[in-house]
Structure 1
Amino acid sequence: MIMNQSIIGNIIGIIGNVISCGLPTYIQIIKSKDVKKFSPIPYLTTLLNCLLWFFYGLPIVHPKSLLVITINGIGIAFKVFYLIVFLIYAARQVRLKVMKLLALETVFMIVVVTSVLLLIHTTTKRFLVMGILYIIFGTCIYASPHVVMKLVIQTKSVEFMPFTLSLASFLNGVC
């Protein structure tokens, strides 16, 4: 039996959706009531990733993208929850930095959504523009774990780069 590309794409999409949930580090933060040296950057960039993909999957940009909308809606909820936990346990200076970055992401998304909806009038062109934009930002987003790699090298400890989270990120990127 030969499967067509649509079925294979859906299967890979569902696997990617399940893997996207990953194994969150917020459990360690809650247990220790401290963010330690965990970096919020991968979660901030992942939130931006989910926001871009969610907008991309909306029918006004790309019709028939239910998997894209569902996983990224769930992803947004997970990342917002993580960032709330992070903000609760972070030092004041770190909290302010994260809040500034969240404000910057919000402004960026407002500009993207407004520009795309007002300046581009067909779903085909919106799909193309958002695809190009995502390629640019997706490259940056998948590079964000390198911030944690720097910490691993400096401390000579993998404590802040859990293997399971790294594996989940890798497998999700493959899917």
Structure 2
Amino acid sequence: MVDAKQIRFIIGMIGNVISFGLFLSPAKTFYRIIKKKSVEEFQYVPYITTVMNCMLWVFYGLPVVHKDSILVSTINGIGLVIEAIYLIIYFAYCGHKKNARRNILGFLVLEVIAVLAIVLITLFAIKNEFLKQTFVGVICDLFNIAMYAAPSLAIFKVVNTKSVEYMPFLLSFIGCINAIIWTSYALIYKIDYYVLASNGVGTFLGASQLIVYMMYRKSTPKDKTVKPSEVEISGAERV
């Protein structure tokens, strides 16, 4: 008979697969960059922030912070590698953008310093296990909620233009499913309040995007075309 812990593991594996798909979602963008040898108008900010998010969740899922959450660390470790590859490609082809390379390196240095500070504070300044989880979990949630909220900004444009051309359905749909899976993961066996908090919010935001999409999809002009830069998405992990 399958117990709650095994069910949680299975759901976590499903979440890993879906999250892996989200990480790979910008691959087409970077194929275009390599092919054209230019980043055009694509921005590096989504990938910089995702690197920070991944580093934080990798640490959160380790036994030194939270036991029984290793699947959170594994998928974010994979995501960290993928995002690093995206940034390397961007760095190689962003020569025409003023100060882009300097800014990328500067942000990465600041992120590494910030994560190291969080790790050191957690390991050496905080002795209580619950306080460790709270300290790291709250910081992770802040980043995760921000990443879930980013695609929801398109809702205002959809309502104003009565067109869903700036809200890719697939991104909203997969993001919502991802949030639901990780919310379920957080609720089973041992409740993980920090994975639950950000993914609960993500489920609400994702559902809101889908509702708005269904409301305005029929009113969208058929002859409109969307530039890739207008629908660029990040491989942000939502765990």
**Fold agreement, TM-score > 0.5:** yes
The answer to whether structure 1 residue 14 and structure 2 residue 48 are counterparts is no
Q: Cα distance, 1:126 vs. partner? A: 1.0
Deviations 1:30-83 (A, max 9, x none): 222221222222222221111111000111111232211211110111111111
Secondary structure in structure 1 of the residue aligned to 2:40: coil
Quick one: which amino acid aligns to residue 119 of structure 1?
Answer: A
Q: Which residue of 2 aligns with 1:65?
A: 69
Q: Give the drift of 1:85.
A: 0.7
Counterpart Cα distance in 2 of 1:62 and 1:112? 15
- Which entry has the higher C-alpha Rg, 1 or 2? 2
Q: 1:4 offset after TM fit, Å? A: 5.0
Structure of greater relative contact order (alpha carbons < 8 Å, 6+ residues apart): 1
Cα deviation for residue 157 of structure 1 reads 10
User: Any gaps of 5 or more consecutive residues in structure 2?
Assistant: 182-239
1:103 paired residue among 98, 102, 109: 109
For residues 171 and 33 of structure 1, the distance between their equivalents in structure 2, rounded to whole angstroms, comes to 34
Q: Which residue in 1 is equivalent to 2:125?
A: 119
TM-score (norm 2): 0.60
How far does the alpha carbon of each residue in 1:87-118 deviate from its partner, in whole angstroms, 9 at most, with x for none? 11113522222222212211211111111112
1:100–1:124 CA distance, 2 compared to 1 (3 A): same
- Whether the aligned pair in 1 keeps the contact of 2:18 and 2:178 (CA below 8 Å) is yes
Residue 100 of structure 2: aligned partner: 94
Moved more, 96-105 or 51-60: 96-105
The C-alpha deviation readout for 1:112-131, integer Å capped at 9, x for no partner, is 11111121113332112212
Measure, in 1, the Cα distance between the counterparts of 2:7 and 2:92. 42
Q: CA RMSD for the aligned pairs?
A: 2.9
Letter in 1 for 2:130: T
Match status 1:142 vs 2:148: yes
Task: Show the 5 A alignment for 1:5-84.
Answer: 5-22=4-21, 23-24=25-26, 25-84=29-88
TM-score (norm 1): 0.79
CA drift at 1:146: 6.3
Structure 1 residues 167 and 47, CA, compared in 2 at 3 Å: closer, same or farther?
farther
- Aligned length in residues: 169
State the identity %.
39
* Structure 1 residue runs without a partner (length 5+): none
Taking a change above 3 Å as real, the CA distance of residues 17 and 164 of structure 1, as seen in their structure-2 partners, is: same
Q: AA paired with 1:128?
A: T
Of 6-15 and 123-132, deviating more is 6-15
